[in-house]
Chains A and B, each alone.
Chain A
Amino acid sequence: MGDRLHVETVEAAKQNPSFAKALTDLLFQLADDDFILAYRGSEWLGLAPHIEEDVAFSSMSQDMMGHAVMFYDMLEQLGVGKADDLAQLREAKAFSNAILVERKNGDGEYNDHPHYDWAYAIVRSYVYGLYKQVRLEALTQSSYAPLALVSRKMMTEHRYHLMHWQVWLKQLANSTADARQRLEAAIAKVWKDAGELPQLGPNQVDIVQFGLIAEEEELKQKWLTLTKDIFENAGLDWPGEPGVPQERGRHGEHTADLVQALATLSEVYRIDPAAGW
C-alpha cells in the first residue's frame, strides 16, 4: 500500500490532468445519480401514502440533494464550472446518471393526474440505496482524500434511509396479496435497469487505476450480496442477474424522461440565473 496514490488536495488533483479527468467523470456519476433521484423523490411531495411518509420522503430527498450539492461543489473546485450551472444548465447528453434514477414515478404528471407507483418508488429507492451504500464504503478508501472524507460523512446519514426502506419492503412483502403483487411487479421493473448501477462509464479503467473507487465487478458483487440478503429476509424471490437498459446512461445516452425532468427542475433557474435563492 506504500506506493498507493494519495491525492490530498484539489490543487494536487489539478496538477495531474488524467487524474483530474477520471475524478471529474466519477464525480459527475455520483452527483447526477443523487441529483436526479432526489428530484424524482421531490415529485412525491404531497402524494405519499400518509403525512409521516411525506415528511420522511422529503427528508431523504433533501439529504440526497445535499449529497449531490457536495459532489457538484467538488466539481466546481476542480474548475469544471459553477455548481448550480452543472446541475441545471447541462443538456441531457452531458448527464452520466444511471437510467434507473431518471425513470418517471409512474403515469401522469405531478400537476396532472399523477398516477405514481409507490411500490416502484420503494424498490427503486432501496435498490439504489443499497448500491449507494456499497459505493460510499468503497469511496471511503478513495485516493482522493476530500472524496473519502465526505463519503464517510454521507454514510452516517444514508443508513437511516436504508432503515426506512427496509421497513417498507418488509411490510409490503408481508401485507395483502395486492401489495405483494405490486411489489413483485416493481422489483421486475427496477431489475431491468439495475445492472447499470455499478458501471463506471467510458473512463472506468482510469477511474479504477487511479484508485478513486473499486472496480465494477467488485462493487457489483458486494451490492448483489447485500441485496440478496435483504430480499431473502423479506421473503422475496431473488430476481437473478440484473438487466441493463438499452440506453447507456453512464455514456450520456438517456431517455425522454430525463429531458422532461431537467426541463422542469431547471425552469426557474433558466428564466433568471441571477435570482437569489
Chain B
Amino acid sequence: MAQEELQLHEGLEATCWELLQQVTDPEIPVISMVEMGMIHKVRVEADVVHVEVLPTFVGCPALEIMKRNITEKLVEAEGINQVQVAFVYDPAWTSDRIALDARDKLKSFGIAPPPLDFKPGDTWEVACPYCDSPYTQMENLFGPAACRSILYCRHCKNPFEALKPIY
C-alpha cells in the first residue's frame, strides 16, 4: 500500500513539474519559472502539492502573480485539490540557475542573459542580444523590473535590456 502511494506521489510530482513548464515568468513570457530556476521543490502529500519558489528579488512585485499562476495551473492536475506555494531563501536564487537553453530564448525576446560563473569583482560585459556586438553601453542599471538593466547597442543601434548577474 505504502509503495503504491509513493509511486502515485512520484507520478503526480512529475505531472506537476510538467505543468509548471507552462507557467511563465509574468514579465518574460518566453521563459518558464522552471527554466528560470525559480522552482526549488515540488512535494505531493495526499491531494496537496507544496511548491517551494526561490524569488529572484526579495521585493519583486510579481511574486503574488507567480503564486496565483502556479496555483491555477497545478489544480488542473488530476488528484490535486490544493496548492501551497512558499517562497524560500535557501538556497538563494542566483542567475546561474537559469537553464542553459533558456538563455537563447531570452535573447530572442531581446533580453541579454546574465554572464555565467560571475564572481565578485568581475566586470559585467554585456553583448547585444540582437547582433552579439560587445559594443554596448549601460543606459540605466535599473530597468522596468528590479532584475533588469537598460542598455544600448552602439553597433546595431537597438536599445535592449539585460538580466542583472545575481551571485
A binding-site residues for B, Cβ under 8 Å: 52, 55-56, 58-60, 62-67, 69-70, 146, 149-150, 152-154, 156-157, 160, 163-164
Is A66 a contact of B59 with CB atoms below 8 Å?
yes
26 A-B residue contacts at CB 8 Å?
A: A52-B139, A52-B150, A55-B140, A55-B143, A55-B150, A56-B140, A56-B142, A60-B142, A62-B146, A63-B57, A63-B146, A66-B57, A66-B59, A67-B58, A69-B58, A70-B59, A149-B92, A150-B89, A152-B89, A153-B55, A153-B93, A154-B58, A156-B167, A157-B58, A157-B166, A164-B141
Q: Which residues of B sit under 8 angstroms from A164, Cβ to Cβ? A: 141-142
Is B142 a contact of A160 with CB atoms below 8 Å?
yes
- Max chain B Cβ within 10 angstroms of own Cβ: one of A60, A152, A156, A160: A156
Is B90 a contact of A62 with CB atoms below 8 Å?
no
Option from B55, B59, B139, B140 in Cβ contact (under 8 Å) with A62: B59
Q: Which residues of A sit under 8 angstroms from B139, Cβ to Cβ? A: 52
Q: How far is the CB of B90 from chain A (nearest CB, A)?
A: 5
Q: Which residues of A sit under 8 angstroms from B24, Cβ to Cβ? A: none
Which residue from chain B places its CB closest to the CB of A56 in the assembled complex? B142
Q: How far is the CB of A87 from chain B (nearest CB, A)?
A: 13
B binding-site residues for A, Cβ under 8 Å: 55, 57-61, 89-90, 92-94, 139-144, 146, 150, 164, 166-167
Q: How far is the CB of A50 from chain B (nearest CB, A)?
A: 10
Is B59 a contact of A65 with CB atoms below 8 Å?
yes
Complex CA distance for A62 and B58, rounded to whole angstroms: 10
Is B58 a contact of A63 with CB atoms below 8 Å?
yes
Complex CA distance for A99 and B41, rounded to whole angstroms: 42
Is A153 a contact of B92 with CB atoms below 8 Å?
yes
- A-B pairs, top 9 by smallest CB distance, nearest first, are A66-B59, A59-B142, A56-B142, A149-B89, A52-B140, A66-B58, A153-B92, A156-B166, A149-B90
Is A67 a contact of B59 with CB atoms below 8 Å?
yes
Q: Which residues of B sit under 8 angstroms from A153, Cβ to Cβ? A: 55, 58, 89, 92-93
Which residue from chain B places its CB closest to the CB of A68 in the assembled complex? B59
Q: Which residues of A sit under 8 angstroms from B150, Cβ to Cβ? A: 52, 55
Q: Which residues of A sit under 8 angstroms from B59, Cβ to Cβ? A: 62-67, 69-70
Which residue from chain A places its CB closest to the CB of B95 in the assembled complex? A156
Q: Which residues of B sit under 8 angstroms from A149, Cβ to Cβ? A: 89-90, 92
Q: Which residues of B sit under 8 angstroms from A67, Cβ to Cβ? A: 58-59
Q: Which residues of B sit under 8 angstroms from A69, Cβ to Cβ? A: 58-59
Q: Which residues of A sit under 8 angstroms from B60, Cβ to Cβ? A: 66
Complex CA distance for A64 and B90, rounded to whole angstroms: 20
Q: Which residues of A sit under 8 angstroms from B57, Cβ to Cβ? A: 63, 66, 157
Q: Which residues of B sit under 8 angstroms from A146, Cβ to Cβ? A: 89
